[in-house]
Amino acid sequence: MKGLFFYRKEILVPKGYARAFEIEKGSRITIIDVDGGQVGAFVAFYRDRLSESLSPAHTRLALSSVTIRVKDRLWSNLLRPLLEVTENTAPTHDLLMPACDGLGGGPSAHHSCIGNFEGALAPWEIPRNQIPEPLNVFGNTRFEADGTLVRLPPASRPGDRLTLTALLPLVCAISACSRAPGAGSAGKEKISGIAVIVSQGSAERHA
């Protein structure tokens, strides 16, 4: 292990809250659904130029897909790859839905994902109107044959995880959405939220 660098930090994001953090190029972010059925809205910004951010629209364009798989890269609004998917056990993720903003009968603005992001990203002075649409980790959407877009309850199970590897230094934020994800989840309140493990290097690797 001599000469190797290993870093690991765990962050718990309770349902209805967001946490933000900086990561270095090569770091891994493992996003874990603690209880199952919890959406984690994820946004990321290039740390050296915060106006460049993860863009679901550009990612859909680059992948020709509305979802993500292992080895896919996640692209910025300047069409540069910011992250790569390196592990996934969850059946679905969503690249189509905006972050909930407390409008239109959702949760109060205080507990919306946009409000959560605004608070969590305040140390980087990222204003509300620069918060991009998120990757909805564990989100579950489906197209009907007539083009109708349907938002379904997350299909993720307890312990499901998505790991992203940073290709550039980033500022990231994750909000454990408190919005009811669909009629099927009514009454199934979860409290644990999302666990995040940020790591760099490998504890198992030998020099």
Residues that bind Zn ion (CB under 5 A): 100, 113, 177, 179
User: Closest distance between Zn ion and the C-beta of residue 176, in Å?
Assistant: 8
Contact 34/177 with Cβ under 8 angstroms? Answer: no
Instruction: Pick between residue 106 and residue 201 the one whose CB is nearest to Zn ion.
Output: 106
CA nearest to 173, candidates 40, 28, 34, 9: 40
Q: How far is residue 141 from each of residues 16, 89, 151, 152, 166, measured CA to CA in Å? A: 21, 17, 5, 6, 26
Beta partners for residue 8, in sequence order: 199
Give the count of beta carbons closer than 10 Å to the beta carbon of residue 116: 28
User: Closest distance between Zn ion and the C-beta of residue 13, in Å?
Assistant: 12
User: Closest distance between Zn ion and the C-beta of residue 135, in Å?
Assistant: 13
Strand ranges (E), 3-90:
7-13, 18-23, 28-33, 40-46, 73-75, 81-88
Instruction: Pick between residue 90 and residue 168 the one whose CB is nearest to Zn ion.
Output: 90
Instruction: Pick between residue 23 and residue 177 the one whose CB is nearest to Zn ion.
Output: 177
Instruction: Pick between residue 33 and residue 52 the one whose CB is nearest to Zn ion.
Output: 33
Q: Which one-letter DSSP state was computed for residue 104?
A: T
Instruction: Pick between residue 103 and residue 145 the one whose CB is nearest to Zn ion.
Output: 103
